[in-house]
Chains A and B, each alone.
Chain A
Amino acid sequence: RKEVEQDPGPFNVPEGATVAFNCTYSNSASQSFFWYRQDCRKEPKLLMSVYSSGNEDGRFTAQLNRASQYISLLIRDSKLSDSATYLCAVPSGGYNKLIFGAGTRLAVHP
């Protein structure tokens, strides 16, 4: 089993829709989790950090389910500018190196 797994998508949604992505992780001892956004041919940019049960920032909500070992990212009222690849990352090892999922592509259309 991979350390971090994501549904690659793509998710094609209309503007204004609500969309949710899931990310499962294998290390039950993980304490922190991250969602990054990556635009085409650009570096990942931190979207949200999750240290407890969840986090909310405007239209974005991240939730952690420790029992089932997954984190989710919910995007409400999708905008065209939300089109990107969303990467889930979980620290691993002594240096807390980040292990990334394969990413989920989101395409928001008019």
Chain B
Amino acid sequence: GAVVSQHPSRVICKSGTSVKIECRSLDFQATTMFWYRQFPKQSLMLMATSNEGSKATYEQGVEKDKFLINHASLTLSTLTVTSAHPEDSSFYICSARQRDRGGETQYFGPGTRLLVL
């Protein structure tokens, strides 16, 4: 399958700082990437859809000014958590959509574990 990387894998920061997470599709181009958040023992919740060259589409209840998304190229999307607070501590996972013979498949990055102190 296709490979998606995320960086950093884990980050610890102080409350009030901003954290940038990168998501890269390594062996394919992805016009669309997705950002998810997963709290312990809960399922993945979609935060936003990232589209190359245009503004991201945010899910209801997700603050676009707090979670800044930039999809500057066909292989890179970034999520910046601005002014992070302890309640933003979570597992952030991106996925990139690849079109193949069978249709479309989303491949996930390894995730970024964020801890805000």
Hey, which bits of chain A sit against chain B, CB under 8 A? 32, 34, 36, 41-46, 49, 51, 87, 89, 91, 95-103
Contact = CB atoms under 8 A, between A and B. Distances in A.
24 contacts: A32-B103, A34-B106, A41-B91, A41-B113, A43-B109, A43-B110, A44-B93, A46-B1, A49-B102, A51-B102, A87-B43, A95-B32, A95-B49, A95-B51, A95-B97, A96-B97, A97-B34, A97-B46, A98-B34, A98-B46, A98-B95, A100-B43, A100-B44, A102-B43
Contact of B103 (A51, A89, A97): A51
Nearest to B97: A96
B65 interface: no
Given A32-B104, A49-B103, A51-B102, A44 B44 contact: yes
